[in-house]
Chains A and B, each alone.
Chain A
């Protein structure tokens, strides 16, 4: 279970999150929708441990463990995963090297045995097949020359390989064509389980047709201003944010 309490976050002296509360039980999928610039990626980055953001107040715990005290790599080992809104290109580092390094780094920290080359290859083959990722992509440098959709699929691949307890998907649907959207959603759904929770950030209700959320939240003005069932996403899509923001004010 991930618990975020009264979270205040500043960047360069500007307060972006102003007392955000969010609790996601294990096995549940929550969605966050909110206007551009409302702080969705800020929340994602703070959860993953980006040091450009100052947490001035509040707490984040995963299964009772204080996440804010940890380095990004420790959070990954604990089971936190962020699918980036803008995945980073790393020239010169091959996909296979990258995945091997990441998987074994996490396994090592979790006290599990590291996978040998063959074990990794098998795991990689299986996951890339499920996500329709070509072998050619695996031979390239991380995200270098990948299309927008390929980058997003690559994020889901990493998630599948690292088996997190809690995954944040920051606009993983943007830039995906209809077929890719289905592939990615299937990939996420395949990972849904009782001991894994998700936070899905999106602007479009469409994704939520594929990945059915348990709860939908509206983030505006640095806080969750409304929460509800999947129907909330439909209402937002129809009416836009203005009504909700007025209502909350």
Chain B
């Protein structure tokens, strides 16, 4: 029995078959020689990554998953030499589970993870930014949570961006069987910089990882991140991102559900104004039976804001009894804002329930009048309707401080409206 269905499928974009865009070499980034780490195998991995970047170039809209996001003009004026980035941790973060990569190089899982790739990498051949990060692998943080431990306090990692820099931060996480942890990635900065991040998370059997992120970016900033989670049997990976601002932001999530009863939830709220561009590209790979996934993204756009959501559910042949959903809703506050949505189901198993839905709409004028007729001033009424629209996604966050930070950012954004 096949129950793949499509619901309310408005505003789905069609990609052109031929592209007017030219391939872009990565010459600026691959010209010099890499600084050596002194660890042979690591330098080899980096050289190989660099060689791939040389061969493949940088991603352009010629590529399937980059049709609506053009990185090249955005990074043109940012220096290409890699800088060190400032990584810091929240006061309550458990320092015992955090290390620098240099302290962890002997551990097999770390070595394996450095070269690990999601299973969609081969299909799309667009891992250039990931490779570029690996080539410059230096500022890497390792979080290793042992088995059967519950971290009461979230581990907060803050990465600062300085104007005029190109950085390649890396985060590698392993959460042992039966453990629970909340990891918060807080990204801040001012000015024109490009941060090209890779975050890899291993969720071992029966573990739970809540991965919350803020992506509050300067209007001149370029931010790209590949997040990869490999989720084992009976384990849960839950991620939420609050995206706000950024000249060019691309967050790509790859999840491999590799053990039965694995579950993942990928959520995001995007606040897009000015000439910001925020792209969320999610690929959920259901590789084994009985796994569940849920993608839920809500975006509010105004002025010339542009947002892209590409959500893919890939159900492998053996992955019977898959339960997978995705939903994207966008609220357009101006005629000049643009939302592009591309839901995609690739299903090879025959006993699955998958669905996707997408809507793009305006503020409900009837609700606005109703609120105003009760004395609520127009601006406040609009704000309330916008807050309630994104509130449904925000409600997945169950860390109070993080939620407060998000609410604060939402209010700030609304005030500037």
Contact = CB atoms under 8 A, between A and B. Distances in A.
Interface of A: 48-51, 71-73, 75-77, 81-82, 84, 87-93, 97-98, 101-102, 105-106, 109, 141, 158, 162
B109 interface: no
Contact of A90 (B372, B378, B385): B385
Given A88-B366, A90-B367, A101-B380, A76 B375 contact: yes
Interface in B129-180: none
Most buried by A among B370, B387, B389, B391: B370
Contacts of A101: 371, 376, 380, 384
A71 B378 contact: yes
B375 A84 contact: no
**Can you list the 3 inter-chain pairs with the closest CB atoms, starting with the nearest?**
A92-B388, A76-B375, A106-B375
B374 interface: yes
Contact of A71 (B367, B372, B387, B391): B372
A90 B376 contact: no
Chain B contact surface mostly:
helix
Contacts, number: 75
Most buried by B among A82, A93, A98: A93
Nearest to B391: A92
B296 to A, nearest CB: 14
Given A71-B378, A90-B388, A82 B373 contact: yes
B384 A76 contact: no
Contacts of A92: 387-389, 391-392
Most buried by B among A49, A84, A97, A102: A102
B389 A77 contact: no
Given A77-B375, A102-B374, A102-B375, A72 B369 contact: yes
Contacts of B367: 88-90
A76 B388 contact: no
A90 B380 contact: no
Contacts of A93: 384-385, 388
Contacts of B387: 92
Contacts of B376: 73, 101-102, 105
Nearest to A108: B375
A162 B388 contact: no
B377 interface: yes
